[in-house]
Amino acid sequence: MHAADQVHLLKENVEIFLPHQALEEKLALARQEHRPLRIKLGFDPTAPDLHLGHAVVLKKLRQFQELGHTIVIIIGDFTARIGDPTGKNKSRPPLSVQQVLENAQTYVNQLSKILNVDKCQIRYNSEWLEAMDMTETIRLLSQVTLAQIMQRTDFNNRFQSNLPISLHELVYPLLQGFDSLQIQADLEMGGTDQLFNCSMGRQLQEGQGAPGQAVLCMPLLKGIDGSAKMSKSEHNTIGLTEAPQEMFGKIMSIPDALLPEYLHLVTDFTPAEKQALLTRLEQGENPMAVKKLIGSNVVQQYHSAEAAAQALAFFQKQVQSKGFTEKEFTAVSWSSLALDPAQPLRLLDLCKALKPHESNSTLKRLMEAGSVWVNGTKVRDAHSLLDMESDALRIKIGKRGFFEVTPD
């Protein structure tokens, strides 16, 4: 691929370049020195559940990898003990060595859905951070001023609103930056919320007389509820390992206004295809149709084309079709429910057996609200009796609970 084409490809969707010409310069450097760029990807082994928000950054990294550059994955086992102050200020319990290893493994497994993990280097930052003594630590700290640290919006906000900031939090960005120095990163990527931490790495490198890393920040993907950021704590994520039907359904549930953003950031479509779909939206096509295409595309990326087709069919049948009988019911045998055949079977008891985690009160409310159907008929009375002797019984509880209870 020509240099200009590479730059064009790599620039797509990137929100921040630091400095502005960083990408061009680094690529030129790589060409000049006949070596791949070393691109850093940091990971905090406390929460190894990757979702589409992470994927925005990872897909960009894959482009670099496909162009022959080297991805260096940093497992932040040491920094995990401190806690990244980004976002919520909650102290984290220290992780055991065992736990860190397990998390690292699941993390790498998930990465493999997007990156070629075999070609990545994997490093643990305890390797160098644990070895530092006080002298070296102080020397590191001396390279940054308080004013610089306080520029970080998160710290600034908290300081302004009289919220506590622990000293160790102030140090976190330096440690993350120190990782860049250690592995001689040419480039670091992250979401825009990582800009400060990433630029710290650049500063530390330059302070040591080394070339500073370029920083590229990808936009933060909004959550499926339309809120500012997809994040696990907001419960608005689509996980990379989720089942096809689940993934598809979640895409269908995003607010229509988010479609352009999702189209750009999470799909695999070519720029021309993206533009075509945007045009269709602008021309007033039902957003649902475009959403289905996006949903299929996403499922295809993380599962398969076959899975995508099935997920679409499932959605049409389960959500869109109005009939009761054609729904997909989960088969359950009478015997597995452990009901007493000698007792009269109340609807409430059956629902409780099918949904053991719901309380009787909750189930009764569902019935009163008219969301429980038995064999195609809405039943509101929790105490109506059912016949266990009968043939298959089809019951719907809530929007998602379709069960078919059958004799053994």
DSSP string, 196-258: HHHHHHHHHHHHTTSPPPEEEEEPPPPPTTS-S---GGGT---BTTS-HHHHHHHHHTS-GGG
Nearer to RNA, 9 or 319 (CB): 319
Residue 81 token pair? 């003990």
288 lies in the binding site for RNA (CB under 7 A): yes
Query: Cα(279)–Cα(336) distance, rounded to whole angstroms?
Result: 52
Helix (H) or strand (E) holding 144: none
202 lies in the binding site for RNA (CB under 7 A): no
Residue with tokens 């990872």: 58
Site string for RNA, 371-400 (x = CB under 7 A): x----------xx--------------xxx
3-state secondary structure of 372: strand
Residue 307 token pair? 């899975």
85 lies in the binding site for RNA (CB under 7 A): no
Helix (H) or strand (E) holding 125: none
Contact segment (CB under 7 A) with RNA among 1-9, 36-44, 53-61, 161-169 equals 161-169
Q: How far is the CB of 43 from RNA (least distance, A)?
A: 27
Q: How far is the CB of 230 from RNA (least distance, A)?
A: 13
Question: Pick from 226, 271, 344, 407: which binds RNA (CB under 7 A)?
Answer: 226
Contact segment (CB under 7 A) with RNA among 4-12, 204-212, 214-222, 361-369 equals 361-369
How many chain residues are in contact with RNA, going by CB under 7 A? 42
Question: Pick from 5, 33, 118, 164: which binds RNA (CB under 7 A)?
Answer: 164
Query: Cα(299)–Cα(305) distance, rounded to whole angstroms?
Result: 7
357 lies in the binding site for RNA (CB under 7 A): no
Nearer to RNA, 163 or 331 (CB): 163
- Which residues fall within 8 angstroms of residue 19, CB to CB, at 6 or more apart? 214
Q: How far is the CB of 253 from RNA (least distance, A)?
A: 2
Of residues 201, 221, 199, 194, the one with CA closest to residue 84: 194
Query: Cα(33)–Cα(9) distance, rounded to whole angstroms?
Result: 22
- Contact residues toward RNA (CB under 7 A) are 162-164, 225-226, 235-236, 245-246, 248-249, 252-256, 286-288, 291, 314-316, 318-321, 359-362, 364-366, 369-371, 382-383, 398-400
